[in-house]
Every structure is written in C-alpha cells, then in structure tokens.
Structure 1
Amino acid sequence: QAADYARRSLTQRVPTLLDGDFALSESSAITEYLDQAYPESSVYPADVQQRARARQVQAWLRSDLLPIRQERSTLVVFCGQKRPPLSAEAQAAATKLISAAQALLADNREYLCGQWSIADVDLAVMLNRLILNGDPVPAQLVAYAQRQWQRPSVREWVELRRPAL
C-alpha cells in the first residue's frame, strides 16, 4: 500500500488529495485547488482582504511554530497519543500561538474572517495539538477549537479510520 501511495503522491507526503485521476500533495496547494475547482463549496472567504488574512494565518501556522509541530504531532490530534511536557522552546512557540490566536479572535469572534474558512480548521488543529494533550490553553481558544471540530465536514475528517500505530 505504501508503494501505491508513493506512486500517486508526487511529494510522497500526507496529505495527498485524489480527485479522479488527479493527485495533489501539499496542504496549501490542495486547499487552493479545491477552492477553485469547487467554487460552490468555497473554503476561503470571498472578500479579498479576508481571503488574504486566511492565507496569512495558514502560511504562518505552516512556516512557524515548528517546536509545537515537533513535540505535538498530529498523532496527538488524531490518535490520542500523549506526550511529555513542552520544552522551553515549544512553550515559547505555544505562548506565541496563543497570543496570536487571541488577537485574531478578539471579541469572541466565531471565525477568523467573519465566516468559516479552511484557516479556521488549520488554527483549530494547531490549538488541538496542545488542548488534546492537556497543555494549558485559555478557555476562549478551547471553545473556538471545539466549535471548529463540531462542523460536520470536519467531524467526518477527524473520524476517518486511520491505520493503527
């Protein structure tokens, strides 16, 4: 099965989207493709500035905060794996994440950009790396991440059957 995946996925990375005979890897490429290929189910805000903000948040989550990603992999999110306390470097990254998320969601906003976008899911995944491991996260951000997790399409994704570790 790994050889089949490697043949389909140019970068041999997760995630890889299969849309008919077309395979595409890398999260940002996938979300931009989906937004353009299926405009009736847009994953980005229509407003150009809000769209830019959503992409900014996604780019920041992917390019920064490496210590969190290293110490709280998605195995914490999708497989319930528990990890030891954060290192000082990862704790500094967590503090940075929490501060930025609180600023982005000031006034208890339900969504980053006034309406749901894929950036909300990305931020919720990053927050859940901490929340689901039991790391301290302010209640407002826990509630935000839980709201994103309750979206039917997100529930379906979270509950996908995954191979045993």
Structure 2
Amino acid sequence: MTVDVAPPRGGPDRKRDTLARLENDIDVWVATAAPDGAPYLLPLSFVWIGGGLLLATPESSATGRNLRRSGVAHLALGQTRDVVLIEGTVAAYSREQVPADFAAQFARRHWDARESTPPYGYFLVTPQRIRAWREENELAGREIMREGRWLV
C-alpha cells in the first residue's frame, strides 16, 4: 500500500500551522520525569497564553510534583503524522498565586481549576524548542524554535 504524501511545508507554513494548533487545540500530551528518572506521561488540557501553554493538574499528582520540582516539560500535540514537539521551561503557580487573568482564561476554555479538589496548581510552559513535521519529507527543517526564538 502506498501512502500519498503532501509536498513538504516551508518554515513559515510550519510556524503558522503550529501557532494555529496552539491557539485551537485543547489537549496536549505532557511528559515529565520523577526524581529517580522514571518517566510519566498523560494528557492535560491547556490554553495558549502570551507565548506559553497554561496547564492545570492536582498539585499532589505525579505530574504536578514533577513539573514543580524539575521546572521543565516535554509536550506533544497532534498525530504521529502531524506532530508538534515542545520542550519548555515551567513556571508553577498555586491556585492562590496564579495571575487572575491566566485562571480566567483557563476557566473560560475548560473549567475553573481554582475550585477543584484536591487543590490544583497551574503550570505555564514556555517553549524553548519546537519541532514540527508531518512526514519523512519534512524531517529536514523540523526545528522551528531554538532557545525560545523562532527560526522561521
């Protein structure tokens, strides 16, 4: 069986498509690691705010603890044949510390996590590296952000 493959996108198109995903998708895969290096992966809802992905999860959960402790996360959007991989730094906020406009934007899109039990924390992941590709023909040039700066 042969798979029809679209021609590769240029850098500006990949950036445009990536920003559209960040503005319109509602869930993202979040990968973290425990202090002993054990990996942890789960989907979380997010909202794109001011150049970062705002997540909410119970502060006492493995993901909440890992994000707060390490200050880094790896995120993935999309299918395996249309993927956006993000490596970012994390700013952690308790529900008492989260900026009101961040919590309000998250609540408008999902639910008011400030009212959740057990207590939820908010985590703003600021992308430092982004890679985006669809097929093998897009592997070259897949890195579209490095050190927090767009390359395209």
- TM-score category (smaller protein): under 0.3
Give TM-score scaled by structure 1 length.
0.23
The structure with higher relative contact order (CA 8 Å, sep 6+) is 2
Give TM-score scaled by structure 2 length.
0.24
Greater per-residue strand proportion:
2
